[in-house]
Amino acid sequence: MKSSSNILSLKSHLEAICGKENVFTTEEVLKAYGSDHTEDLSFPPQILVKPGSTEEVSAILSLSYEVEVPVTPIGALTGLSGGALSVKGGIGLSLERMNKILKIDTNNMQVTTQPAVITQLLQEEVAKYGLYYAPDPASRGTCSIGGNLAENSGGPRALKYGVTKDFVLNLEVVLPNGEIIQTGANTLKNSTGYNLTQLLVGSEGTLGVITKAVLKLLPLPKHNLLMLVPFSSAFKACEAVAAIFNAGITPSALEFMERDAIDWTLDFVDSPPQLEIKEHHQAHLLIEVDGNDQEVLFKDCEKISEVVQRYEADEVMFADSEAQKEALWFLRRRVGEAVKANSIYKEEDTVVPRFELPKLLEGVKRIGEKYGFKSVCYGHAGDGNLHINIVKADMTDQQWSEELPKGIRELFQLTVDLGGTISGEHGIGYVQKGYMDIPFSKVELELMKKIKKVFDPKGLLNPGKIWE
């Protein structure tokens, strides 16, 4: 961390670039930009700046590069891995003023957007033209496209439509030294040079600052149906997941919730939906199908109903109005918050090939018993992405800080052994960086670190992330 006087000497330069009203040094503001949705971390920047254009971002990075001050790009601060926290101090670069949708190109089914546009807003705007942007993190009402790009966010629709990376055609990026590049072209196909676009997506703001994105859109599906399926065994619920796909159906969402996740969320939210949850229901699958033909969707639902019966499902509940659908999705989206409100927690974002999900769940519980932790699991079962919320409950502080990391290590090792990896959609950021030796060999990590050095030879952009 640079000394405060050094940093503050930059203030007038930053003000000259962005205007006095966009540079902040008060403790209150800095503190607000030092936390996201990851546990209770707090790493405020030493100075906060809010550029309004690519040129301003470029000028800030030229300056910080010259004087060798760290810069941390900041999106909507909804991240779950601490990726946007200024862990080395320096300049906090909030993109929040770059919040315009620049062009909705209906002819080419593309949208060009600045990074700070809220994901749900972008979805709603393109929907007005019958177009669909599918990536759909639980935080879609508050997270921004730039953050989604940085972390390669997913969400419940990824199993059918893919994650953020699958919707990115081209990026405008400011490099750590202030140079501006385009990563690709606005085309669906591209075999021209190395895929810088995909290298930037998911690089967690460590290679460059994304200032503009061209995203692919799809025709908006006309209909969807939603069903909630209770199971008397969480493992059977997980087993049913692969069976649904193997029956030839690709749902547009297939979410898994353990009993505690549902119970805690029903307690947590105001006016919860009326659900008939029985004593023996240990888990639920929330299953959505979408498409343009209602009849086909009904047939799909019938088929799904048949499949889940083979896994000891109880009676399937269909959402038979838009309001009911909304209530169920609202419930699902609030699970994370509800669990977090219940206890001190750590959330892991494990992902495995979907058929391995029951083995992962079994392992989570087994490892939990061994290390004395309780977990509440939920997530995007359709793509094998299980969010494991480890709750502190009655663990001692010593168990929490000394034993738990060993348990997490064992859990991540299991995930990798099952063909999976340690983050499906949250990124490594700050909190998972101590575990990168599990999915990657030294050679692989060394390659990534050298790529980082190509983009950022001085190591100034979002330092202290991804690796120790």
Within positions 404 to 423, which residues make up the interface with a copy of itself, using CB under 8 A?
416, 419-423
Q: Which residues in the 423-442 window bind a copy of itself by CB under 8 A?
A: 423-428, 436, 439-441
Q: Which residues in the 182-201 window bind a copy of itself by CB under 8 A?
A: 182-196, 198-199, 201
CA atoms within 13 A on the CB side of 284: 26
Query: Does 38 interact with a copy of itself (rule: CB under 8 A)?
Result: no
Q: In angstroms, give the least distance from the CB of 110 to a copy of itself.
A: 7
22 vs 58 by CB, closer to a copy of itself:
58
Q: Which of 136, 258, 288, 349 binds a copy of itself (CB under 8 A)?
A: 349
Identify the residue whose tokens are 């990563």. Answer: 183
Q: Please name the amino acid found at residue 263.
A: D
CB-CB neighbours of 273 under 10 Å? 17
| Contacts of 39 by beta carbon, 8 Å cutoff, 6+ apart | 82, 345, 346, 347, 431
Q: In angstroms, give the least distance from the CB of 10 to a copy of itself.
A: 25
51 vs 135 by CB, closer to a copy of itself:
135
169 vs 339 by CB, closer to a copy of itself:
169
Q: Per residue in 95-131, is it b (16+ CB within 10 Å) or e — as a string?
A: bbebbeeeebeeeebbbbbbbbbbbbbbbebbeeeeb
334 vs 380 by CB, closer to a copy of itself:
380
> Per-residue contact track with a copy of itself, 44 to 73, x per CB under 8 A?
------------------------------
Q: Which residues in the 448-467 window bind a copy of itself by CB under 8 A?
A: 448, 450-452, 454-455, 466
The H or E element containing residue 341 is helix 322-342
CA atoms within 13 A on the CB side of 439: 23
Give me the sheet containing 385-391, strands edge to edge: 317-318, 223-231, 283-291, 253-258, 374-380, 385-391, 345-351
Residues near a copy of itself (CB under 8 A), total: 92
Q: Which residues in the 138-177 window bind a copy of itself by CB under 8 A?
A: 151-154, 158-159, 162-163, 165-166, 175
Q: In angstroms, give the least distance from the CB of 244 to a copy of itself.
A: 11
| Contacts of 68 by beta carbon, 8 Å cutoff, 6+ apart | 458, 460
* Structure tokens, 462: 């979002």
Q: How far apart are CA 276 and CA 316, in angstroms?
A: 11
Query: Does 302 interact with a copy of itself (rule: CB under 8 A)?
Result: no
Q: In angstroms, give the least distance from the CB of 198 to a copy of itself.
A: 3
Q: How far apart are CA 205 and CA 460, in angstroms?
A: 11
> Per-residue contact track with a copy of itself, 237 to 256, x per CB under 8 A?
-----x--xx-xxx------
The number of residues making up the chain comes to 468
Query: Does 294 interact with a copy of itself (rule: CB under 8 A)?
Result: no
Burial bucket for residue 344 (CB in 10 Å: 0-12, 13-18, 19+): middle
Identify the residue whose tokens are 């203030």. Answer: 11
Q: In angstroms, give the least distance from the CB of 59 to a copy of itself.
A: 16
Q: Which residues in the 371-410 window bind a copy of itself by CB under 8 A?
A: 380, 383-385
Q: In angstroms, give the least distance from the CB of 207 to a copy of itself.
A: 8
Q: Which of 140, 333, 354, 387 binds a copy of itself (CB under 8 A)?
A: 354
Query: Does 219 interact with a copy of itself (rule: CB under 8 A)?
Result: yes
| Contacts of 422 by beta carbon, 8 Å cutoff, 6+ apart | 348, 349, 350, 412, 415, 416, 428, 432, 435, 436, 438, 439
Q: Which of 290, 347, 356, 456 binds a copy of itself (CB under 8 A)?
A: 356
According to DSSP, residue 96 is labeled: T
49 vs 158 by CB, closer to a copy of itself:
158
Q: In angstroms, give the least distance from the CB of 219 to a copy of itself.
A: 5
Q: Which of 130, 302, 366, 401 binds a copy of itself (CB under 8 A)?
A: 130
Query: Does 102 interact with a copy of itself (rule: CB under 8 A)?
Result: no
Q: Which residues in the 82-101 window bind a copy of itself by CB under 8 A?
A: none
Query: Does 135 interact with a copy of itself (rule: CB under 8 A)?
Result: no
Q: Judge contact between 52 and 18, C-beta under 8 A.
A: yes
Burial bucket for residue 87 (CB in 10 Å: 0-12, 13-18, 19+): buried
